[in-house]
Amino acid sequence: STYFILLIITITRLISTVGKTEQRKTPLIPPELGNLSQKLQNDPETIKMASRDYGNMVHEFPAAVFNPSSINDIVTLIKSSYNSPTPFNIAARGQGHSTSGQAMARDGVVVDMGSLRKQRNGVAISVSKDPLIGYYVDVGGEQLWIDVLHATLEHGLAPVSWTDYLYLTVGGTLSNAGISGQSFRYGPQISNVHEMDVITGKGEFVTCSLQKHLELFHAVLGGLGQFGVIARARIALEPAPKRVKWVRVLYSDFSAFTKDQERLISINGRKQENALDFLEGMLLMHQGPINNWRSSFFPLSDHPRIASLITKHTILYCLEVAKYYDHHSEKYVDKEIQVLLQGLAYIPGFYYEKNVSYVEFLNRVRSGELKLQSQGLWEVPHPWLNLFIPKSQILDFNSGVFKDIILKRNITTGPVLVYPMNRNKWDDMMSACIPEEEVFYTVGFLHSSGFDNWKAYDAQNREIMKFCRDAGIKAKQYLSNHSTQEDWKNHFGTKWRSFLERKHQFDPRMILSPGHKIFHNNH
């Protein structure tokens, strides 16, 4: 029952606060939570589920998991904590695809957004048109991007900015930024939101946008779940293409690779016909397979010659681009790609292309996931490190990290992504943190490890961060994992002050998303 669960919260909190400097008092049982008792669960299986994430390295045990069947349930839950003399921590859990406990709430309550998704199946994604902003979709924060894609395609429309993998929730990616190969042109997903319904840390239900409650709107986008639970987001839509021309070319010279990437992202008007729709890049090394779970692309018959090129150069850099097209533009797409790639310095003869449907392209990671799942390899630890690196320092990063740390340690398994983005597609008022330069790179070490050796990867990640600090490389973590407030202050830099002020304004009792350890080191 509710009483039982709140008693557990009390006891676990008392035990965990013994000896610590800041203590929270024993919570009183808020009476208004009474009728929600059947929606709180604390059986071992449920608690175990909420104390795990995709990273599978951090395990924080909540006192209970809350299964909301409406937005109002979440309002009531947050209000009861906020109004209690002894508030308890609350974390929304989307798909739990974080890697270091960001959606966990030790001794608190985890809100399983999946329950809401089941309850609101099919009713929480709706497409409309507004004379000022054009087509948009209103979507529940608990919904998966794959479902948003399918629902909007029924209207011949789709969002323009994606993540590489679509089985993530809208609330989860908007709490970070949501980046992929479209970001250079359309900005991250947070740049494509018109409006949101948010339940703040005071339990208030607020509709916010650029026109109303602007501070909350900016705070929540990229806000790591610190200011409120996203109940609904209004996302921009455009006519969806039917097909995608998808190309990969290989480089042995990093400086030529990045020069070409930068040239290609400089053509980035949203309506510009001659711009690419997607640009990414990745490393190919002997430690990893030539094709990986993120996408199988290179024909098997070509693996030997790619492998011998890797032996010769140690690391190859793969540029990946895509151009969307429709039936009426089919005859032009080859020509357009040809023009765009003219003069690029890739290795002659190492050009690969595919023609796929738009859905196949956007959902390209799914088949790799299902394969790994069937082999029991999706559940392994994932000691990921994701960084944003200023353009002016990416060559130093290549020599110090790719060519030195990574090769010396010789443990890298999993994709390593490297691709640039344009700062002017981001809104600096939002909470998301990016480098100061106009162009910056995202570098993603998407490691999979064994249960017994993830610490070696963790040590490599720390060595990379230390190298950046020592070399003066102004790296910012994306999907950040910091464990002290000092590190978070450094992370936010000039934005820390407003981040703190916004926290005091929207979640003054420091209830929400404790797993990031920004405000919750001591309890």
Measured from the CB atom, is 230 or 316 closer to ligand FAD? 230
310 Cβ partners below 8 Å, 6+ apart? Answer: 284, 285, 286, 316
User: What minimum distance in Å lies between the beta carbon of 393 and ligand FAD?
Assistant: 22
- 280 in catalytic set: yes
Are 519 and 510 a contacting pair, CB within 8 Å? Answer: yes
The answer to whether residue 225 forms part of the interface with ligand FAD (CB under 6 A) is: yes
CA–CA separation, 460 vs 343, rounded Å? 37
Q: Contacting ligand FAD (CB under 6 A), which of 30, 108, 159, 172?
A: 172
Catalytic one of 147, 164, 320, 458: 164
CA distances from 232 to 65, 189, 457 (A): 21, 14, 37
Query: Cα 148 from chain centroid?
Result: 16
CA–CA separation, 220 vs 210, rounded Å? 12
Q: Contacting ligand FAD (CB under 6 A), which of 50, 179, 190, 464?
A: 179
- 213 in catalytic set: no
Measured from the CB atom, is 176 or 413 closer to ligand FAD? 176
H-assigned helices in 83-162: 113-119, 145-153
Measured from the CB atom, is 41 or 163 closer to ligand FAD? 163
Stated as kind and residue range, the H or E segment containing 488 is helix 485-492
172 Cβ partners below 8 Å, 6+ apart? Answer: 94, 95, 97, 98, 103
The answer to whether residue 288 forms part of the interface with ligand FAD (CB under 6 A) is: no
String marking each residue 35-74 x if it binds ligand FAD according to CB under 6 A: ------------------xx--------------------
Q: Contacting ligand FAD (CB under 6 A), which of 77, 78, 91, 318?
A: 91
Give the start-end residues of each E strand in 215-256: 228-236, 238-239, 243-251
DSSP state of 90: E
Are 361 and 321 a contacting pair, CB within 8 Å? Answer: no
- CA dihedral over 501, 502, 506, 508, signed as positive or negative: negative
Backbone angles phi, psi at 446, to 5 degrees: -100, 70
The answer to whether residue 431 forms part of the interface with ligand FAD (CB under 6 A) is: no
Catalytic one of 53, 60, 73, 97: 97
> Residue 327, class by beta-carbon neighbours within 10 Å (0-12 exposed, 13-18 middle, 19+ buried)?
exposed
String marking each residue 227-246 x if it binds ligand FAD according to CB under 6 A: --xx----------------
- 164 in catalytic set: yes
Edge to edge, the sheet with strand 109-112 lists 40-41, 64-66, 109-112, 90-93
String marking each residue 436-465 x if it binds ligand FAD according to CB under 6 A: ------------------------------
The answer to whether residue 164 forms part of the interface with ligand FAD (CB under 6 A) is: yes
Q: Contacting ligand FAD (CB under 6 A), which of 13, 97, 502, 523?
A: 97
Tell me the residue type at 272: Q
The answer to whether residue 103 forms part of the interface with ligand FAD (CB under 6 A) is: yes
Q: Contacting ligand FAD (CB under 6 A), which of 176, 295, 398, 412?
A: 176
User: What minimum distance in Å lies between the beta carbon of 513 and ligand FAD?
Assistant: 4
Mode of pairing for the β-strands spanning 134-140 and 228-236: antiparallel
Mark the segment that binds ligand FAD (CB under 6 A) among 79-87, 97-105, 275-283, 320-328.
97-105
Q: Contacting ligand FAD (CB under 6 A), which of 187, 513, 518, 520?
A: 513
Mark the segment that binds ligand FAD (CB under 6 A) among 170-178, 252-260, 352-360, 447-455.
170-178
Q: Using CB under 6 A as the criterion, which residues of the chain lie in contact with ligand FAD when the complex forms?
A: 53-54, 91-98, 102-103, 113, 141, 163-165, 168-169, 171-173, 175-180, 224-225, 229-230, 479, 513, 515
